[in-house]
């Protein structure tokens, strides 16, 4: 990076070029000043980050929303026309990170009950260049949700068996015309989603069935 200090001052003007790590330790920077960051390498651009590129939760390859399903999720949520996304049960952070990369205008709030999720999100967000994701660690059902931007898009990646009550809670904060998306992997979870959305006065708007490799088919449900 480059630091310009007292620019235009013929006597005291100073321009320094140094690594960011060294600049962070400087204690004698003069005011006013300006900073210039110089790109030293080009970050690879993905349209659907391969699952193998993510740091995983304890190396468990099944604990991630598979890339083809992830991209279908983002498309069905119509995030280009949304302002605030809640990602509940983010685990590796793959959905939040992919959303931030393709829709940088989004305010993204990501929730995860596992404490190790905080470092995992930080690692993956840094690796792929997706800053600005708000990470919340703890039980979603016990959070003070009014301190976060109200969502118009919600992705439920984990529910701990509380899907019906979780949908009821989300509905209290969901903006008008907001949407909830859920990847169902079992008949039981599908029944819970149907029950939860029905009780919340929502309707199933769209359903998509996807099978990846030898994994069981996933049913993507969107309610509004």
- Report if residue 44 sits inside a domain: no
Tell me, yes or no, whether 170 and 80 share the same domain: yes
**Could you tell me the strand order of the sheet in which 33-36 lies?**
14-17, 2-5, 33-36
- Report if residue 120 sits inside a domain: yes
Confidence label for 215 from pLDDT (cuts 50, 70 and 90): confident
Tell me, yes or no, whether 31 and 64 share the same domain: no
For the entire predicted model, the pTM comes to: 0.84
Q: Backbone phi, then psi, for 14, in 5-degree steps?
A: -145, 135
Tell me, yes or no, whether 120 and 26 share the same domain: no
Q: What is the pLDDT of residue 57?
A: 82
Rg of the chain taking only CA atoms, in angstroms: 21
Confidence label for 216 from pLDDT (cuts 50, 70 and 90): confident
Of 141, 186, 147, residue with least CA distance to 167: 141
Number of domains in the chain: 2
- Report if residue 13 sits inside a domain: yes
Tell me, yes or no, whether 124 and 214 share the same domain: yes
- Report if residue 43 sits inside a domain: no
Helix (H, G, I), strand (E, B) or coil at 20: helix
Query: What is the domain extent for residue 196?
Result: 51-223
């Amino acid at each position: 990076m480059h630091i310009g200090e007292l620019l235009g001052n013929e006597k005291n003007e100073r321009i320094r070029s140094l690594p960011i790590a060294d600049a962070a330790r400087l204690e004698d920077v003069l005011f006013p000043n300006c900073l210039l960051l110089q790109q030293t390498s080009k970050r690879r651009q993905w349209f659907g980050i391969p699952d193998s590129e993510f740091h995983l939760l304890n190396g468990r390859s099944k604990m991630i929303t598979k890339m083809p399903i992830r991209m279908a999720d983002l498309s069905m949520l119509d995030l280009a026309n949304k302002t605030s996304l809640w990602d509940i049960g983010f685990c590796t952070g793959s959905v939040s990170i992919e959303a931030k990369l393709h829709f940088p205008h989004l305010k993204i709030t990501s929730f995860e009950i596992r404490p190790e999720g905080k470092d995992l999100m930080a690692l993956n967000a840094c690796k792929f260049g997706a800053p600005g994701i708000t990470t919340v660690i703890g039980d979603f059902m016990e959070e003070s949700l009014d301190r976060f931007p109200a969502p118009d898009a919600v992705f439920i990646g984990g529910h701990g068996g509380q899907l019906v009550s979780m949908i009821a809670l989300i509905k209290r904060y969901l903006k008008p015309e907001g949407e909830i998306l859920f990847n169902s992997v079992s008949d039981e979870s599908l029944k819970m989603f149907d029950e939860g959305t029905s009780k919340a006065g929502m309707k199933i708007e769209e359903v998509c069935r996807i099978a990846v490799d030898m994994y069981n088919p996933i049913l993507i449900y969107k309610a509004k």
